[in-house]
Structure 1
């Protein structure tokens, strides 16, 4: 009995050793394939840098130096003083005029975003204590910019009114709200666009690259050859995923270095939180890529599905550019199955606010659950048979 038990234990140990060797051979083979494939390097390193530069330099939600036409119908010390407030504002690039009709064509053609008209009776109404309105005409074809122009114009007039009241010694109480913006005092859109773009990069690397490479093996027949070996489906998937998991973390690290040292985005969290969140997000991204490749077995179709189901939802339905709360209720429900929704909020938090683990743990748990479901589906689709 002791000899039989010893033989069983030796056999189990040998089986574990063989599984380990098979798994390491798969990982080595996949690593060499990544290094030999220029498209993998392009997608993992060059394309993320291009996207990061576009979001860091080319895309901005800051409405600064917006071109407007400023019409002063009657030149008085009061109206000139108000006009100087508009000219000194960092939000506007002012073009002066004396008649609204001078700027109507520019507004229609989009050369300016609004027209501010200080009427001829403004000085008299202001001096007599009556309501002294100004007219703000904006281009409503772009609602966001129109709201910015309107709100900033109101802010300029309100600040000017408080300063004038203080100068003339008005007895009316002047309320000066003291505004403080936490986490992003400069209100720079780059500080939340760039961390969000890191998640877009990981979605692209994880889903697109994995689906393309595995689908290519299906097309070439090498996947069937590996399935004819003693390698199990679990070992095959794990051997495929691990190199791309490491590649995704390396790509993320490169993006973070560029974000912090080139774009000046603050990083107030810890590296442990950053890599934990990123690792949790890469699991559903890689699982989705494996599932796509296993079901399609075609590079062109896999790339289209990866872009449609991975990149576009991460870009449009994750809260990266558009507030989820402002979307229709049905779309809000759909966003709950988009993994990027949970990682973008966490990355922006770890960059701008620091480590807030109650938020991180909830999002990490959701991402791990999504990854588990996708890997189970991918394993069922990748059957150990030829064809």
Structure 2
């Protein structure tokens, strides 16, 4: 059967209308576009955090004095710790062994005497190193509390604290150092990679299973008209899911959005087009819903989660893996969303990301055209 040349506006509009009506009658498409983002945002938004808040800490005070009481109170008043005060290491070590506390701070017998004499008054910190990231954070927090207490004591006694260098910190883009502000924009990119691919992969594969694609292939419509008819309704649906995700990020999770809405729509549209095209390729190759779903998760979700910089820093990966990330569209979408949310519309960051996503989308669209053929073999 020969293909129709070009895109006939009437046939294309009819295909788009037919697919839009199918979307409205299909609960699974609406669930993928709107329910799945809600579930994933709630799970990851509240479940994934790189902050160490309310860390359970045991403080061993071997010789209670006003100095040890002051330092212990400073630890207890910190938002980072839940302090349990003990009198011996023998009481504290079993708590660390069974995970009841994440660290032990030991104030020894000569803590006050050494401090009053102007000598070192060492504070021993014993940490649970099973979670190396949390252990490093707790160590830094304890050192910060120690410096704060020394400064407060020096001011209270009317003397200056001898500090050779004073570093004045200034944090840009995320002054509160909330890991959620960094993670939620990346999570939106992961969600869009998954739902964009699933929307076309599952729905079109189901049409192959039911035989409706064969009926469509028997008509005069061309491949381009079929692709536009399939892509446009799910593109609108995916952008609706994107709007829902961004709205939840700003209102529910209180993530600031400093960029322009137009730039957000542009980068989202380009990324979503590539994800939908990938779904079309998967559906044309598998022609089975179960297989299409499995391939979509492996080909879209896992690379987006592992290789996009969402959780794992790309610069810390081995060089071959860093090279592999350059063909993962989610890498550039994560970068674009984090820039738009936290820094604003910085085109010197957005333009390279946009060009890379455009190139990847063009590749998948070309593959989709070649893999969608008007024949039934």
**Structure 2 residue aligned with 1:27:** 16
Q: 1:383 aligned to 2:376?
A: no
**Structure 2 residue aligned with 1:210:** 200
Q: 1:199 aligned to 2:189?
A: yes
Q: Distance in 2 between matches of 1:136 and 1:270?
A: 46
Structure 2: which 5+ residue stretches go unaligned? none
Q: 1:354 aligned to 2:344?
A: yes
Q: CA RMSD in A?
A: 1.8
**Structure 2 residue aligned with 1:5:** none
**Structure 2 residue aligned with 1:156:** 145
Q: Distance in 1 between matches of 2:360 and 2:5?
A: 29
Superposed CA offset, 1:262-281 (max 9, x none): 22221111110110010111
Tell me if the contact between 1:313 and 1:338 (Cα under 8 Å) persists in the aligned partners.
Answer: yes
Query: Structure 1 residue 176: deviation in Å?
Result: 4.1
**Structure 1 residue aligned with 2:174:** 184
Q: 1:61 aligned to 2:50?
A: yes
Secondary structure at 2:58 match in 1: strand
Tell me if the contact between 2:7 and 2:225 (Cα under 8 Å) persists in the aligned partners.
Answer: no
Secondary structure at 2:8 match in 1: helix
TM-score, structure 1 normalization: 0.92
Query: Structure 1 residue 284: deviation in Å?
Result: 1.5
Structure 1: which 5+ residue stretches go unaligned? 1-14
Aligned residues: 373
**Structure 2 residue aligned with 1:126:** 115
Superposed CA offset, 1:209-245 (max 9, x none): 2100111111111112212222111221121111111
Q: 1:370 aligned to 2:360?
A: yes
Q: 1:144 aligned to 2:133?
A: yes
Tell me if the contact between 2:56 and 2:81 (Cα under 8 Å) persists in the aligned partners.
Answer: yes
Q: Distance in 1 between matches of 2:297 and 2:237?
A: 19
By relative contact order (CA 8 Å, sep 6+), the higher-ranking structure is 2
Tell me if the contact between 1:283 and 1:367 (Cα under 8 Å) persists in the aligned partners.
Answer: no
Q: Distance in 2 between matches of 1:229 and 1:132?
A: 86
**Structure 1 residue aligned with 2:26:** 37
Q: Distance in 2 between matches of 1:162 and 1:36?
A: 67
Q: Distance in 2 between matches of 1:61 and 1:170?
A: 36
Tell me if the contact between 1:228 and 1:386 (Cα under 8 Å) persists in the aligned partners.
Answer: no
Query: Structure 1 residue 329: deviation in Å?
Result: 2.3
Tell me if the contact between 2:61 and 2:86 (Cα under 8 Å) persists in the aligned partners.
Answer: yes
**Structure 1 residue aligned with 2:309:** 319
Structure 1 residues 187 and 171: alpha-carbon distance in aligned structure 2, compared to 1, 3 A threshold: closer
Query: Structure 1 residue 132: deviation in Å?
Result: 2.3
For residue 105 of structure 2, the aligned residue among 99, 116, 123 is: 116
Query: Structure 1 residue 127: deviation in Å?
Result: 2.3
TM-score, structure 2 normalization: 0.94
Tell me if the contact between 1:162 and 1:174 (Cα under 8 Å) persists in the aligned partners.
Answer: no
Structure 1 residues 279 and 18: alpha-carbon distance in aligned structure 2, compared to 1, 3 A threshold: closer
Higher CA-based Rg: 1
Q: Distance in 2 between matches of 1:54 and 1:178?
A: 37
Secondary structure at 1:186 match in 2: coil
For residue 89 of structure 1, the aligned residue among 45, 62, 78 is: 78
Q: Distance in 2 between matches of 1:171 and 1:265?
A: 38
**Structure 1 residue aligned with 2:294:** 304
**Structure 2 residue aligned with 1:7:** none
